Amino acid sequence: MKADVRSARLAKLRVPTLVIHGLTDPLMRPEHGRALAMTIPDAKLDLVERMGHALPERAWAQITHAIGEHATR
């Protein structure tokens, strides 16, 4: 699927969306997470320091807190 078609579809989403992205992700730079959050209406972006493409244990507290807050809004 082309990026412009994907972006158009994402822009039509009307569901609460949380984008969690690592600031040191070597595969998908943080700009991709920012762009995704900007494309989806009312999406919340949570950038995680010292997290790459995996979910390191040191980031679990931040991630679970963000998910918990997102689930209750």
**Helices within 1-73 (DSSP H only):** 3-11, 30-39, 60-72
Which residues in 36-60 are b (16+ Cβ under 10 Å) and which e?
bbebbeebebbbbeebeeeeeeebe
**The model's pTM:** 0.88
pLDDT tens string for the chain (73 positions)? 677 889 999 999 999 999 999 999 999 999 999 999 999 999 999 999 999 999 999 999 999 999 999 999 8
DSSP state of 24: T
Predicted local confidence at residue 50, as pLDDT: 93
Domain range summary for the chain, segments of one domain joined by +? 3-72
